[in-house]
Structure 1
Amino acid sequence: MLNIGFLSFGWWSGAPGSRVRTASELMHDTIRLAEAAEDAALDGAWIRIHHYEQNTSSPFPLLAAMGARTSRVELGTGVINMRYENPLYMAEAAGTADLIAGGRLQLGVSRGSPEPAADGPGTFGYPLPVGKRPVEDAAERIAKFRDAISGTGIAEPGANAHVRPGTKLAITPQSPGLTKRIWYGAGGEESARTVGELGMNLMSSTLVEGGTGEPLGVIQSRQIDAFRSAWADARHEGVPRVSVSRSIQPIVDDETALYFGPTLERDRMGANRDQVGSIDTFIATFGKTYVGDLDKLERELRDDEAVMSSDTLLVTIPNQLGADFNHRTFFALKELRDRLAPHHTGPHRSDSSSGLRGFERH
């Protein structure tokens, strides 16, 4: 079974053509995006998290609001940079938001990606300890967060604690099942293997480590295989989940054709083919943009090995065009999911659906 959700980068700006011009408009429009996804029978509403930029940065108030206004879609992050987080406060916030959403949070975490601040975590009060790499710092925070949401005792009880002797105090509130819904944004095969060993779900983005010239889907497919093998070797229970992100823009009317239809300029910039470049300290393959009618998109995505072997496809969307614009394309994405289903080879995920609310235009 293939699930399709949107991934919003959450930008706002006053640029010409932007329909999301302020931070306030972004927050309200993102909630409406989640409602639109549910109305169109998509499977998920995911938000990107970055600091010191004009986009979504504090996920849990927004996820709680999205959860209160929807009843079925998964609500996710792609991804939370754990070097900015107090793991215990985050555990409280995550538990609260998940309870409001009725157990629908899917939290993607990682060590973070290149960012504008020279030392963002340090300015938040979390300087990198001497001798420790960023990935190690993030791993420790993730481990502490996972312990906290699992109900593990964290704090020694004081004189006023009402617990049995020898029992540590756990973080509250606890949200049952959240421990199984933590994902890690891995950039390559080695990190994917580690994710499998640790028993988290795997997120793979529109770029991955490696510049062999092979298609992104081929490189990601090896990454997915490494993850699943490590999961099996570690004897974790259940079936692990895998998401891949793609830039997909269905052409459904004159407006989508105007914004995203083929042009010589877009072709010159390489939007319709994978590209190899550098990011941070490594060479990476960047995925192309899939654009066209549903027949064209179906053909191309069937040939994408990673899409067809994952269970979740996250489609990056032009959020600055607003919820109404994206609402129209969400129906096309739902149909695309249904077309791909008979050919999909990824694992099945059971899903319980409840009645959909109408998409409110306000």
Structure 2
Amino acid sequence: MQNIGFLSFGWWSGAPGSMVRTPADLMHDTIALAEAAEDAGMDGAWIRIHHYEQNTSSPFPLLAAMGARTERVELGTGVINMRYENPLYMAEAAGTADLISGGRLQLGVSRGSPEPAADGPGTFGYPLPVGTLPVEDAAQRIAQFRHAISGAGIAEPGANAHVRPGQKLPITPQSPGLSERIWYGAGGEESARKVGELGMNLMSSTLVEGGSGEPLGVIQSRQIAAFREAWEQAGHGGVPRVSISRSIMPIIDDETAAYFGGMLERDRMGANRDQVGSIDNFIATFGKTYVGDMDKLEAELREDEAVQTADTVLVTIPNQLGADFNHRTFFALAELRDRLSGEHTGPSPATALQARSDQGQRVTA
């Protein structure tokens, strides 16, 4: 693992204890999360996109704002359901947000996951064409989007167009390098292999196809191997990137112990483990929660084959606890990255935070 970022599901609610009670709270707090991740030394700030639910649904205004308030962290999506998107408008919005961020967008796309709407894309004006599967529809939209952000000509010129004869008009603005920073959220080995053939980066979440009873990390490591093999066989240049998602709850002080202590007790009793279940008509393995102090987390993550194989780990966070709370755990996550890569030489998260507090520095986002 070279990089660690957070993945926020972007929930808001008026539930007791929620620090993110309204859509406005969510937008401002998500921007603050990105600032907190950068301040704590993390590498990425990623947001999940869902429609018709109380969470993040429109990524590009939010990504642009996050980009304007940060300088270094990658800004990603995990993932955009392409069946809801006009690929050419999305190309304009993505190019704009990427330029604002200075070329830091990492866009995860896919066909989407189960949702509450009976036909959400159709309601958005994109009904599924007769004889076309949802995955095929999404693939066509992804291909058109990637073509547009590559700088290729798209539209036939009119009488007032200033282009050379035979040229088509490209989508603007173009953001150099964006076309190399597109990821696909794959559910299993076959889809991962297809991602490698197409030359996109691979995203794999805390849920993957397969119910063999093997640990999630073992299943994902095969998925990653299939992706990399397909990438190489297709003749793509460069080194493809791979991200996996994990639920990691560091216990570093009394407050984190109060929130996560119950999960730790379940872990001690053996109740916290990978599970096999059914979703969207296929059998899947759901990942467990890693919870405990830094030494325990380090030891367990070293045994996770996919954590050792992927270059990026995205940690799902309890965003309703707010940016100030998550800011403190971000220091722990950055330390875990350094421990696992053999680069950690500094103080513990609690020590670092206390030192900053003693010096009168702000320790909240």
For the criterion TM > 0.5, the same-fold answer is yes
Match of 1:60 in 2: 60
The one-letter amino acid paired with 1:314 is L
Match of 2:227 in 1: 227
Deviation at 1:262, TM superposition (A): 3.5
CA distance in 2, matches of 1:130, 1:50: 25
Q: How does 1:205-216 map to 2 (within 5 A)?
A: 205-216=205-216
Matched, 1:305 2:320: no
**CA 1:75–1:111 in 2, change beyond 3 Å: closer, same or farther?**
same
CA distance in 1, matches of 2:95, 2:291: 38
Match of 1:71 in 2: 71
Match of 1:204 in 2: 204
CA distance in 1, matches of 2:30, 2:264: 32
Deviation at 1:253, TM superposition (A): 0.8
CA contact (8 A) 1:2 1:312 kept: yes
Q: Deviations over 1:114-163 (max 9, x none)?
A: 00000000000000000000000000000000000000100000000000
CA distance in 2, matches of 1:319, 1:186: 24
Match of 1:43 in 2: 43
Q: Deviations over 1:58-106 (max 9, x none)?
A: 0000000000000000000000000000000000000000000000000
CA contact (8 A) 2:44 2:75 kept: yes
CA distance in 2, matches of 1:359, 1:107: 31
Match of 2:282 in 1: 282
**CA 1:236–1:271 in 2, change beyond 3 Å: closer, same or farther?**
farther
Identity %: 85
SS at match of 1:154: strand
Matched, 1:133 2:136: no
CA distance in 2, matches of 1:165, 1:360: 59
Deviation at 1:305, TM superposition (A): 0.3
| Superposition misfits of 4+ residues, deviation over 4 angstroms | 263-271, 358-362
CA contact (8 A) 1:45 1:76 kept: yes
Match of 1:352 in 2: none
The one-letter amino acid paired with 2:284 is A
CA contact (8 A) 2:52 2:117 kept: yes
CA distance in 2, matches of 1:159, 1:299: 66
Match of 1:104 in 2: 104
CA contact (8 A) 2:263 2:272 kept: no
The one-letter amino acid paired with 1:280 is D
CA contact (8 A) 1:106 1:182 kept: yes
CA distance in 1, matches of 2:5, 2:167: 41
CA distance in 2, matches of 1:250, 1:187: 27
CA distance in 1, matches of 2:330, 2:264: 27
Unaligned runs of 5+ in 2: 344-360
Deviation at 1:265, TM superposition (A): 7.9
CA contact (8 A) 2:328 2:364 kept: no
Q: How does 1:135-284 map to 2 (within 5 A)?
A: 135-262=135-262, 266=266, 272-284=272-284
CA distance in 1, matches of 2:167, 2:269: 60
CA contact (8 A) 1:181 1:201 kept: yes
**CA 1:264–1:218 in 2, change beyond 3 Å: closer, same or farther?**
closer
The one-letter amino acid paired with 2:291 is V
Unaligned runs of 5+ in 1: 344-357
CA contact (8 A) 1:35 1:359 kept: no
**CA 1:142–1:103 in 2, change beyond 3 Å: closer, same or farther?**
same
**CA 1:165–1:247 in 2, change beyond 3 Å: closer, same or farther?**
same
Deviation at 1:342, TM superposition (A): 2.9
Match of 1:20 in 2: 20
**CA 1:8–1:263 in 2, change beyond 3 Å: closer, same or farther?**
closer
**CA 1:219–1:320 in 2, change beyond 3 Å: closer, same or farther?**
same
TM-score (norm 1): 0.94
The one-letter amino acid paired with 1:318 is P
CA distance in 1, matches of 2:254, 2:73: 29
Q: Deviations over 1:227-280 (max 9, x none)?
A: 000000001010000000000000011111111114598459976200000000
Counting matched residue pairs gives 348
**CA 1:264–1:317 in 2, change beyond 3 Å: closer, same or farther?**
closer
CA distance in 2, matches of 1:269, 1:95: 49
Deviation at 1:360, TM superposition (A): 8.7
CA contact (8 A) 1:107 1:183 kept: yes
CA distance in 1, matches of 2:197, 2:146: 15
CA distance in 1, matches of 2:233, 2:177: 23
Match of 2:34 in 1: 34
TM-score (norm 2): 0.93
Q: Root-mean-square deviation (CA), in Å?
A: 1.7
CA distance in 1, matches of 2:263, 2:273: 14
CA distance in 1, matches of 2:143, 2:267: 44
CA contact (8 A) 1:103 1:177 kept: yes
The one-letter amino acid paired with 1:140 is Q
Match of 2:117 in 1: 117
**CA 1:127–1:269 in 2, change beyond 3 Å: closer, same or farther?**
farther
CA distance in 2, matches of 1:271, 1:26: 32
CA contact (8 A) 1:271 1:289 kept: no
CA distance in 1, matches of 2:4, 2:111: 25
CA distance in 2, matches of 1:15, 1:269: 29
CA distance in 2, matches of 1:96, 1:4: 25
The one-letter amino acid paired with 2:327 is H
The one-letter amino acid paired with 2:67 is G
